Amino acid sequence: MSRVKRSVNARKKRRATLERTKGFRGEANSNYRRAKEALLKAGQYSYRDRRNKKRDFRRLWIQRINAAARLNGTTYSKLIHGLNTAGITLDRKVLADLAVRDPEAFTAVAEEAKKAVA
């Protein structure tokens, strides 16, 4: 059986790993072993934080909606309950955007929610 020489493929793999770790601190951008470990850890962090980002944005939207709701004489939970009762299907991202960019429209939505609860 013929012998397989791996130097081209191995070098290509190592070069690709080192290119992906450009900008990392210490030996993690120049030493292949450290770079490989750093890349694995970076992948774990990015996977985790893609999920955490969704959580963080939802929290931010809820805070913005609550602040705007209180300016309109209600609370976040009452507003959401009123929207569900009224059949208004706006998600929290859109509601928060309305609260920040178009307070008049948010006030109109809040009034509809209040009417539905009353």
Whether 111 shows a pLDDT value over 90: the answer reads: yes
pTM value is 0.81
Residue 72: give the domain boundaries: 7-117
Q: What CA–CA distance (Å, rounded) separates 105 from 113?
A: 13
Number of domains in the chain: 1
Q: What is the CATH number of the domain that holds 59?
A: 1.10.1900.20
In a domain, 2, yes or no: no
4 falls in which pLDDT band (50, 70, 90)? confident
Q: Taking 90 as the threshold, does the pLDDT of residue 68 lie above it?
A: yes
Domain annotation covers residue 70: yes
DSSP class of 24: -
- Evaluate whether residue 96 is within a structural domain: yes
Q: Which of 89, 91, 66, 90 lies closest to 79 in space, CA to CA?
A: 66
pLDDT (tens digit, 9 = 90+) per residue, 48-67?
Answer: 999 999 999 999 999 999 99
Amino acid at 105: A
112 is a domain residue = yes
